[in-house]
Structure 1
Amino acid sequence: MGADLQGSLLDAFEDPGLGSLDGITRAELGQGAWVDVLPGWLTGADQVFERLVRDVPWAAERRQMYDRVVDVPRLLCFYEESHDLPVPILDEARDALSEHYREELGEPFRTAGLCFYRDGRDSVAWHGDRIGRGNHEDTMVAILSVGEPRVLALRPRPGNSAGPVSSTIRYPLGHGDLIIMGGSCQRTWEHAIPKASGRIGPRISIQFRPRGVR
């Protein structure tokens, strides 16, 4: 399993830690959807990346695609709410997010899904996290990124282009960056990690979700 990470100079000398969530900035997308972004929330992110590469039981999946079965272009691991996360700072991150969004979300973040994008060929297609309650309720998905930046792209779902933002927006996320998609975002917007050309380093995303949202 290759993981040729071009680390940041700061992360090389810092132990993993979390900054304040007070610096989050929110972008209103319209129709009740929004995203919060906080660059560099996790310090020592490259150390966390290396531990996740080493310690997570990564799995390669295959899925039906029309008339054939294809490889899922990324490695995956899912942690149920009863499971300790592989690096203690991730439990701390989940707790901090639960506290920060307690009034707005009304419940804690419970589960963690991990995706390992090994290079620019790994990706995820346009989708919303709409399995379970996210299909009919406002919810939140918080994504913490470690490793090299990759673009998380968002666009309105067909027929939902009304609002202050009506075109695709892109966030390059890595090295401890945090993004939260909230409100109606999973129903009225789609997100993706597009394939990328050139020499693209590996990235791991950690997605925190409330119970019953996938």
Structure 2
Amino acid sequence: MTTPALQASLFGESGPVTLHALAPRRTELGSGAWIDVQPGWLEGAGEVFTDLVTGVPWQAERRRMYDRLVDVPRLLCFYGEAAPLPHPVLAEARAALSEHYAGELGEPFRTAGLCYYRDGRDSVAWHGDTIGRGSTEDTMVAIVSVGAARQLALRPRGGGESHRYALGHGDLIVMGGSCQRTWEHAIPKTSRAVGPRISIQFRPRGVR
């Protein structure tokens, strides 16, 4: 697999890798769904991006769509509950999120799924994380982004006004309540020249 040789300086960062205090801003979406957003929660995200590009065993997957196999338009890696995470700050982030949301979530974040969007051709289609408990229960999915900003789009299931957030450079978004059941999210393809981005998705047990 070929990956771009990127340095933290590409993203204008040279400081230490650290997490700021959690103070996200909540937006109520309706039907019991909400999102929390905190730009720049992770300081030194460029360095983390570079370490993940080179240190994660990225996998290219193929999935059946209709009657044929197609390439998944992004690279993936999943870390289960017992697996050590590929950068120390990710373990710190998961612990901080678990503590911050303990009263609402009632359980810790346990797994981490990583997606590597190499350019504007890489994407993820409209979906909710409804494999497992997310199909019937309120839950949370916390996403930390490193690398160049990409648009994360949200829309109600069945149609309605959509929202877009440009996530990158250490930004945090948490989708909570009924969001996985009543809303969908996507990273759309774009023809604009965009740099690569990695998203780290923290989930509780039994949510994919």
TM-score by length of 1: 0.94
Alignment-derived partner of residue 7 in structure 1: 10
1:55 has 2:55 as partner: yes
1:190 has 2:193 as partner: no
TM-score by length of 2: 0.96
Q: How many residues align?
A: 205
1:180 has 2:181 as partner: no
Residue 4 of structure 1 deviates from its aligned partner by 6.1
Residue 198 of structure 1 deviates from its aligned partner by 2.2
Alignment-derived partner of residue 22 in structure 2: 21
Instruction: Please give the per-residue CA displacement for 1:176-204, whole angstroms capped at 9, x wherever unaligned.
Output: 00000000000000000000112110000
1:156 has 2:156 as partner: yes
- 2:103 and 2:67 map into 1 onto residues whose CA distance is 46
- 1:14 and 1:192 map into 2 onto residues whose CA distance is 31
Which residue identity lines up with residue 213 of structure 1 in the other structure?
A: V
Residue 44 of structure 1 deviates from its aligned partner by 0.4
1:109 has 2:112 as partner: no
Alignment of 1:69-84 (within 5 A): 69-84=69-84
Q: 3-state SS of the aligned residue for 1:7?
A: helix
Going from structure 1 to structure 2, the CA distance change for 1:153 and 1:4 (only over 3 Å counts) comes to farther
Alignment-derived partner of residue 42 in structure 2: 42
- 1:94 and 1:34 map into 2 onto residues whose CA distance is 20
Which residue identity lines up with residue 7 of structure 1 in the other structure?
A: L
Aligned identity (percent) is: 69
Going from structure 1 to structure 2, the CA distance change for 1:130 and 1:33 (only over 3 Å counts) comes to same
Q: Is the 8 A contact 2:80 2:111 kept in 1?
A: yes
- 2:39 and 2:98 map into 1 onto residues whose CA distance is 19
Provide runs of 4+ in structure 1 moved above 6 Å: none
1:66 has 2:69 as partner: no
Which residue identity lines up with residue 204 of structure 2 in the other structure?
A: P
- 1:38 and 1:55 map into 2 onto residues whose CA distance is 26
Residue 15 of structure 1 deviates from its aligned partner by 1.4
Alignment-derived partner of residue 194 in structure 2: 200
Contiguous gaps of at least 5 residues in structure 1: none
Instruction: Please give the per-residue CA displacement for 1:55-91, whole angstroms capped at 9, x wherever unaligned.
Output: 0000000010111110000000000011110000000
Higher RCO by CA contacts (8 Å cutoff, separation 6 or greater):
1
Contiguous gaps of at least 5 residues in structure 2: none
